[in-house]
C-alpha cells in the first residue's frame, strides 16, 4: 500500500499493520487521521477495489505478487509465454514495411527472412551444425549475426549514413531488424515521398 498508494498510506493511522490486520468480519477497518477530502475518496475506492480481489486472506508477511498468472508467482517461462503471445507478435510484425514497399518480390522475401533472423549468416549456419569460427565478414570484430551484419556493423552503418546525412536526420540504430523497420517508418513521417523512403532499408540490406 505504501508503494502503490503513498498518498493514502500517509493518511492511515495503522501504518505498521498488514492488510490482513485491517480485515474484520464487518469489513475493512482503516482509521484515517483526518476526514478525507473529496479528491481522496476515489483513491480510497481504488484501494478497496484492489484488495477486494483477494480471497482467503491469511495472516503473514506482505509479499510481492506477480499479476501475470493466477498463482502470483513470477516465472521467466511465463513472461516468455506472455511476450510471445501470437496476437502480440502479429500486432508487432512489420508486414506493411515488408510487403507494401515498392520493391521486387524477391527483395521482399529477403527482408522477410531478415526480419525472421533466418538468413544464412554464420550464426545461423552454426545453429545448423556447421562448425565455424564466426567473425563478421566486414569488420571482423565480432560474431556474424543477422542483427550485427545488417544493422549494427560499422561498415553497414556507413550505408545508412549516406541516406541519413542527405536528409539531416539523427537516428539511433535499433538492435533488431524488425525494430529498424518500424523506427525507419516513424522517422520518415515527414518525408515527401513515403514510398521512396520505405524502400531504403530493403535497398541497403539487398546491397549488403
Pick 51 or 139: Cβ nearer Zn ion: 139
Pick 40 or 117: Cβ nearer Zn ion: 117
> Minimum distance from CB of 144 to Zn ion (Å)?
7
Helix axes 200-207, 177-187, angle to 10 degrees: 140
> Minimum distance from CB of 134 to Zn ion (Å)?
11
Pick 144 or 185: Cβ nearer Zn ion: 144
Scanning residues 172 to 201, which ones bind Zn ion (CB under 5 A)?
A: none
Which of these segments, 26-34, 40-48, 129-137, 174-182, binds Zn ion (CB under 5 A)?
129-137
Give the number of other Cβ atoms within 10 Å of residue 77's Cβ: 7
Q: Which three cell numbers stand for residue 146?
A: 543477422
Number of residues that bind Zn ion (CB under 5 A): 4
Query: b vs e for 139-160, b when ≥16 Cβ sit within 10 Å of the residue's Cβ?
Result: beeeebbbbbbbbbbeebeebb
Looking at 136, 146, 200, 202, which residue binds Zn ion (CB under 5 A)?
Answer: 136
Pick 51 or 208: Cβ nearer Zn ion: 208
Residue 27 — φ and ψ, nearest 5°?
130, -170
- CA distances (Å), origin 142, targets 59, 99, 131, 155: 54, 31, 16, 13
Give 35: exposed, middle or buried? Use CB within 10 Å, 0-12, 13-18, 19+: exposed
Scanning residues 137 to 166, which ones bind Zn ion (CB under 5 A)?
A: 138-139, 153
Scanning residues 62 to 121, which ones bind Zn ion (CB under 5 A)?
A: none
DSSP state of 36: P
> Minimum distance from CB of 140 to Zn ion (Å)?
7
Pick 47 or 151: Cβ nearer Zn ion: 151
Residues of this chain that interact with Zn ion (CB under 5 A) are: 136, 138-139, 153
Amino acid at each position: 500500500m505504501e508503494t502503490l498508494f503513498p498518498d493514502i498510506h500517509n493518511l492511515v493511522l495503522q501504518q505498521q499493520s498488514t492488510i490482513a490486520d485491517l480485515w474484520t468480519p464487518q469489513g475493512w477497518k482503516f482509521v484515517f487521521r483526518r476526514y478525507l477530502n473529496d479528491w481522496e475518496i476515489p483513491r480510497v475506492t481504488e484501494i478497496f477495489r484492489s484488495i477486494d480481489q483477494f480471497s482467503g486472506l491469511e495472516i503473514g508477511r506482505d509479499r510481492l505478487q506477480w499479476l501475470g498468472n493466477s498463482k502470483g508467482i513470477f516465472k521467466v517461462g511465463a513472461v516468455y509465454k506472455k511476450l510471445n503471445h501470437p496476437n502480440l507478435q502479429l500486432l508487432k510484425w512489420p508486414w506493411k514495411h515488408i510487403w507494401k514497399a515498392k520493391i521486387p518480390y524477391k527483395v521482399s522475401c529477403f527482408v522477410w527472412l531478415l526480419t525472421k533472423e533466418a538468413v544464412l549468416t554464420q550464426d545461423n549456419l552454426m545453429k545448423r551444425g556447421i562448425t565455424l569460427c564466426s567473425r563478421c565478414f566486414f569488420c571482423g570484430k565480432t560474431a556474424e549475426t543477422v542483427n550485427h551484419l545488417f544493422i549494427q556493423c560499422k561498415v553497414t552503418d556507413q550505408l545508412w549514413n549516406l541516406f541519413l546525412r542527405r536528409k539531416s536526420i539523427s537516428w539511433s540504430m535499433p538492435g533488431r531488424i524488425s525494430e529498424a523497420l518500424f523506427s525507419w517508418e516513424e522517422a520518415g513521417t515527414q518525408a515527401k515521398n513515403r514510398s521512396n523512403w520505405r524502400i531504403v532499408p530493403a535497398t541497403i540490406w539487398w546491397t549488403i
